[in-house]
């Protein structure tokens, strides 16, 4: 066998990730039972392949197996993304698979470089050898690896696949993608920090940029799932920020946020899945007034929205407070956190209002709450949001501290958090008002009021480069001779050139 992986977690960190996957996956599976109607065999086949890939990644004892299972997961998720087989599915899936393979090869290269340095793929062995090595030799390898993982996470500037992939994927798949798959990259970075003992300060920067960037773009989205996708970028920015700080508090906060984000973002996607299931619409301007028709979804969505906004006593606040505490010295980062938090509040007010409040469109008169199999995951996850929010120190003590490997204590009941919450709510209201006034947050589809983000889109840069490359290839094909005489001339030219190279007059 080229790779070996054990069926037991290697340490508490992988136990933590395994717990996360094992707890989310059954809920998504149950939800899928009613949600997915077509191509059942194909759907469940690739769903379990993706699941196996995720589990394998966090159980991997050596780096090669980590890579192997990562790619298995990637391929599985690709086929899940294109499962709906709509016109937009395929470009989104194509973007996803290419970005993932690109990141994957970077990860593989960093592993091979590590192998050249240490002579082994075993994580435990590498950790032992890395202690004796010069940190300056390890830093570039770590950077290469971290860049690869940023592709997987969907951090800015490698996020372009994420807002495309989520809206086209079936909702349970979006929940899986946002809840678990993008966390694997963060797990990889934490694992590597623990193994090599090096850290890159760039992570803090990328985290902060992703936070602000994600939330600013989320504000102007009109597609419900696209809006949530941009929030995934933003929330993973928090995680990266925590990891980048590198202290026990920071990494602990990051891990806590991984857990919290997995819970509330999966819940959000499943709620929106319920809305889409009931109405068939995913554009905000066609929705509205569903609160009376779908009370359960309304309540669970409300809980998740409060959780992601960081309002106590729901779970989001605990991890955000920890991350905020770990960067408290830095004014810019503090500012980024406040901007992000208030933007999050504003955009969820918008999402909530235009989905559940207001006037019910005539077309949606017959919509009603979804089947029990879909409601159960919603209620369960909402319950977790509440429990983890009310007893954050229990979660911290029993799950996070062992995973980080040091005892973390944090005072979750203090005045500062209360003040922060009030500030965020006020600022959120201000942003919401401003956004509606200026038209930045309007819900009509079409030309965006502010065209600057449209023009400066990174997506455009990546896709433009790819287009240019393809056009270059077309030109190349035109240059490519098909005439036999020309081909024969090429042969003799090649002979002459090879001869010249061999004689090499300079030598």
Partner 1 sequence: MGHAPILIVVIPLLAAFLTHLTKYVKLKRGAEIVAAIGMVVPLALLLSLGRGVIAGGSVQYNLGGWPPPVGISLTIDGLSFFFALMVLGIGLLIVLYSLGIYIFARRYYSLLLIALSGILGLVLTRDIFNMYVFFEVLAVASYVLVAYKHKPRAVKASFKYLIMTEAAWVLFLLAIAILYGLTGSLNMDSIALQIDKIYQANPQVIYLVFSLMMVSFGIKCGMFPLHTWIPEVHSQAPTPVSSLLSGLILKVGLYAMLRIFFLFFGTTLLLQSAGQLVLYLGVITLVLGACLALVQDELKKLLAYSSISQIGFVLVGIGLGTELGLKGGLFHIFNHALIKAALFFCAGIIISQIGFWRISRMKGIWRQMPGVTFSFCILSLAIIGVPPFNGFVSKLFILQATLAQKNYLVIVFLFMGILLTAAYYFRVIQTFFSPEEFQHKPDFVPQPVGPFEHLSTYVVAVLCLLVGLFPDVVIKFIQPAIKVLLP
* Binding region for partner 1 (CB under 8 A): 1-3, 67-68, 71-72, 75, 78, 82, 85-87, 90, 93-94, 97-98, 101-102, 105, 108-109, 112-113, 115-116, 470, 472-474, 476-477, 480-482, 484, 487-488, 490-491, 493-495, 498-499, 501-504
| Smallest distance from partner 1 to CB 197, Å | 23
Nearer to partner 1, 368 or 507 (CB): 507
| 357 CB-contact burial (10 Å; exposed 0-12 / middle 13-18 / buried 19+) | middle
Q: Is the dihedral of CA 94, 347, 187, 242 positive or negative?
A: positive
> Between residues 24 and 106, which has the closer beta carbon with respect to partner 1?
106
**CA–CA distance, 389 with 386 (Å, rounded to integer):** 5
Taking residue 430's Cβ as centre, other Cβ atoms within 10 Å add up to 13
> Do residues 152 and 102 touch, judged by C-beta distance below 8 A?
no
Cα 112 to Cα 6: distance, rounded to the nearest angstrom: 21
Q: How far is the CB of 296 from partner 1 (least distance, A)?
A: 32
Residue 366 vs 485, nearer CB to partner 1: 485
From the CB of residue 406, how many other CB atoms can be counted at a distance below 10 Å?
12
Q: Choose between 437 and 477: whose C-beta lies nearer to partner 1.
A: 477
Residue 57 beta carbon to partner 1: minimum distance, rounded to whole angstroms: 12
List, in sequence order, every beta strand (DSSP E) within 300-375. none
8-state DSSP, 369: P
Query: Which is closer to partner 1, CB of 42 or CB of 334?
Result: 42
Smallest distance, partner 1 to C-beta of residue 236, A: 24
CB atoms within 10 A of CB 469: 9
CB of 324 to partner 1, least distance (A): 39
What's the min distance (Å) between Cβ of 269 and partner 1?
A: 23
- Cα–Cα distance, 360 to 144 (Å, whole number): 51
Cα–Cα dist 159/335, whole Å: 22
Please state the closest distance from residue 56 (CB atom) to partner 1, in A: 10
Please identify, using beta-carbon distances, which residue of 78 and 269 lies nearer to partner 1: 78
Give dist(CA 327, CA 250) in Å, integer. Answer: 8
Cα 261 to Cα 16, 177, 253, 305, 369, distances in angstroms: 14, 12, 12, 11, 25
Cβ closest to partner 1, residue 332 vs residue 490: 490
Q: How far apart, in whole angstroms, are the C-alpha atoms of residue 81 and residue 177?
A: 9
Task: Pick between residue 2 and residue 456 the one whose CB is nearest to partner 1.
Answer: 2
Smallest gap from Cβ 406 to partner 1, in A, equals 34
């Amino acid at each position: 066998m080229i790779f070996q992986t054990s069926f037991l977690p290697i340490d508490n960190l992988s136990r933590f990730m395994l717990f996360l996957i094992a707890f989310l996956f059954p809920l998504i599976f149950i939800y899928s039972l009613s949600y997915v109607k077509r191509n059942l065999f194909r759907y469940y086949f690739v769903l379990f392949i993706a699941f196996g890939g995720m589990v394998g990644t966090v159980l991997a004892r050596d780096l090669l197996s980590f890579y192997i299972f990562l790619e298995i997961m990637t391929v599985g998720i690709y086929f899940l993304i294109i499962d709906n087989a709509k016109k937009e599915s395929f470009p989104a899936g194509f973007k996803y698979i290419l970005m993932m393979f690109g990141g994957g090869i970077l990860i593989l290269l960093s592993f091979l470089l590590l192998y050249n340095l240490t002579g082994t793929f075993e994580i435990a062995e590498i950790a032992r050898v890395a202690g004796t090595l010069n940190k300056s030799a390890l830093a570039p390898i770590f950077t290469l690896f971290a860049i690869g993982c940023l592709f997987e996470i969907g951090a800015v500037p490698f996020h372009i696949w994420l807002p495309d992939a989520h809206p086209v994927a079936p909702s349970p798949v979006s929940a899986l993608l946002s809840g678990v798959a993008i966390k694997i990259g963060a797990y990889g970075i934490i694992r590597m920090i623990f193994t090599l003992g090096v850290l890159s300060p760039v992570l803090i920067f990328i985290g902060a940029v992703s936070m602000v960037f994600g939330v600013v773009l989320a504000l102007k989205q009109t597609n419900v799932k696209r809006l949530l996708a941009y929030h995934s970028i933003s929330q993973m920015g928090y995680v990266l920020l925590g990891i980048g700080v590198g202290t026990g508090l920071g990494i602990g906060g990051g891990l806590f946020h991984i857990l919290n984000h997995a819970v509330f973002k999966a819940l959000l996607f499943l709620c929106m899945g319920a809305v889409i299931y009931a109405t068939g619409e995913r554009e905000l301007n066609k929705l509205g007034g569903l609160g009376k028709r779908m009370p359960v979804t309304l309540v669970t969505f409300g809980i998740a929205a409060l959780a992601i906004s960081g309002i106590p006593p729901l779970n989001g606040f605990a991890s955000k407070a920890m991350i905020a505490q770990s960067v408290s010295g830095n004014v810019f980062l503090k500012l980024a956190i406040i901007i992000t938090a208030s933007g999050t509040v504003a955009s969820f007010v918008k999402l909530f209002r235009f989905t559940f409040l207001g006037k019910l469109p005539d077309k949606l008169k017959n919509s009603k709450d979804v089947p029990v199999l879909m409601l159960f995951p919603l209620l369960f996850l909402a319950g977790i949001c509440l429990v983890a929010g009310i007893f954050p120190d229990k979660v911290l003590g029993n799950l996070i501290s062992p995973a980080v490997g040091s005892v973390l204590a944090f005072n979750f009941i203090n005045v500062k958090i209360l003040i922060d919450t009030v500030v965020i709510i006020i600022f959120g209201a201000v942003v919401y008002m401003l956004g509606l006034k200026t038209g930045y947050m309007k819900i009509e589809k079409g030309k965006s009021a502010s065209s600057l983000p449209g023009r400066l889109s990174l997506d455009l840069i990546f896709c433009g480069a790819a287009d240019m490359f393809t056009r270059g290839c077309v030109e190349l094909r035109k240059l490519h001779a098909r005439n036999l005489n020309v081909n024969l001339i090429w042969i003799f030219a090649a002979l002459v050139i090879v001869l010249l190279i061999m004689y090499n007059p300079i030598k």
